[in-house]
Amino acid sequence: MLLVVDNLSSFMPHLIRSLSILDARYVVRRYSELSHDVVGEYDGIILSGRRSNERSMNVVNMHIVDTAYREDRPLLGICYGAEIIALAMGGTIRRIGKVVGEEEVYVNEDSPIANNGRMMVYESHDYSIATLPSVLKSVAYSRSCSNEIIVHISKPIFGTQFHPEASNSYGLDLLRRFVMLARR
């Protein structure tokens, strides 16, 4: 069973629809409803994007990232979720201005969630990951973002700056791969 952390993203209906198409078993919980010990109850976690910057949201999501790391729990961060993964592990983010719409992403290294090649994805963000800590690596980039897909070097932790839940077949395949990884 997956835990989908709802960080009040406007893309939650897309994410729920995508997971339903994939016949994934999941539960959606708003970030403000989560207790500190809830992560261990699930096979994997998806952190959604967000609409606004709230300190309490950051605290909860940082704790989830830390727990997933310690417990080797599969974790996928989408947009804000990827940014909070990078921040929790020592990276930085920067404001880049609004990036919205379709973008071509170049995957330059195979990973458990994406193969080498190009994909069209949907972007909607104001921030991007500026620097990665040594435990994370970028396996994809675009014209607007140098860290489109991030992967932990030894743990099942992943992030996408784009929104796979709104990115048609490419995004659905990425989500499918994560769901399968979390089922193992």
d(CA 104, CA 41): 36
**Model pLDDT, residue 41:** 87
pTM above 0.85, yes or no: yes
Radius of gyration, CA atoms only, the chain: 14
Confidence category of residue 16, pLDDT binned at 50, 70, 90: very high
Residue 99 pLDDT greater than 90, yes or no: no
Backbone angles phi, psi at 134, to 5 degrees: -65, -20
Domains in the chain with CATH codes: 2-183 (3.40.50.880)
List, by residue number, the catalytic residues: 79, 163, 165
Examine the pLDDT at 36 and tell me if it is beyond 80.
no
pLDDT-based confidence at 173, cuts 50/70/90?
A: very high
CA-CA distance, 27 to 46, in Å (whole number)? Answer: 10
- What's the per-residue H, E or C state across 11-33? CHHHHHHHHHHCCCCEEEEEHHH
For 36-87, the DSSP string reads TT-GGGSSEEEE---SS--HHHHHHHHHHHHHHHHTT--EEEETHHHHHHHH
Q: Which of 183, 164, 162 is CA-nearest to residue 174?
A: 164
- pLDDT band, very low/low/confident/very high, at 22 (cuts 50, 70, 90): very high
